[in-house]
Amino acid sequence: MIVHHLYSGGKDSSLSAWILTRLGYEVRLVTVSFGTLDNWRFARETAERLGFEHQVLYLPREVLERAADMAVSDGHPNNAIQFIHEQALEALASLPEVERVSDGTRRDDRVPFLDLPRARSLEDRFNVAYIRPLLGLGYKTIRELTERLFVVEIRESEELEKADYEVELRHVLRERGIDPLEIFPKRHYQSRVLGWRGEET
């Protein structure tokens, strides 16, 4: 039972990947890139430390440009992030070898998040199962599992050390002469999974 899991190298997508292995799935981690930067390498590095197979899924540059249009027009990034995530899930689900897709979205997330009709639509249109291991967990449970499992580095924000969509979105905004800080909320800290805490290898 192989599952293709959208992976950023962060805590949530790492915890989800671990849960999938505990349920008996063979997990293939997949990081989305638009090819404007190589920040997907941070996800690969974490994937290797955790012992997972990892691949990059390139999405068309137009998807990123359209997301940037949305972010500029809205003045905030939520719809843009949602749009990219849906495009990523659809691109992954449409690959012929893919039967199950997964991500690290949480119960308490606003974006990216597929509501029930969208989740079912994804499954039906692409004939896949869509698995969200964190959906039934609250922040306390996610925190206790993450702390038990992973060594996490928390440091002041240096965006290029992450492999999430936001980094390339910020990059393309800067290319357009727009300061991403006008659109994205400021974040002082970010976290990155460095490896297993010990008992899991």
Choice between 8 and 33, CB closer to a copy of itself: 8
In angstroms, what is the minimal distance from the CB of 100 to a copy of itself?
Answer: 7
Choice between 96 and 117, CB closer to a copy of itself: 117
In angstroms, what is the minimal distance from the CB of 5 to a copy of itself?
Answer: 12
Choice between 53 and 108, CB closer to a copy of itself: 108
| Contact (Cβ atoms closer than 8 angstroms) between residue 64 and residue 55 | no
What would the two tokens of residue 120 be?
A: 């079912």
Choice between 124 and 156, CB closer to a copy of itself: 124
For residues 61 and 40, give the distance between their C-alpha atoms in angstroms, rounded to a whole number: 15
Cβ neighbours, 10 Å, residue 34? 21
In angstroms, what is the minimal distance from the CB of 39 to a copy of itself?
Answer: 27
For residues 119 and 115, give the distance between their C-alpha atoms in angstroms, rounded to a whole number: 6
In angstroms, what is the minimal distance from the CB of 138 to a copy of itself?
Answer: 6
* Burial category of 117 from C-beta neighbours within 10 Å (exposed 0-12, middle 13-18, buried 19 and up): exposed
In angstroms, what is the minimal distance from the CB of 151 to a copy of itself?
Answer: 17
For residues 93 and 162, give the distance between their C-alpha atoms in angstroms, rounded to a whole number: 24
Specify the DSSP element, H or E, that contains 31: strand 26-33
Residues that bind a copy of itself (CB under 8 A): 1, 19, 22-24, 100, 107-108, 116, 119-120, 123, 129-138, 140-141, 144-145, 148
For residues 157 and 152, give the distance between their C-alpha atoms in angstroms, rounded to a whole number: 14
Tokens 């606003």 belong to residue:
110
Choice between 72 and 131, CB closer to a copy of itself: 131
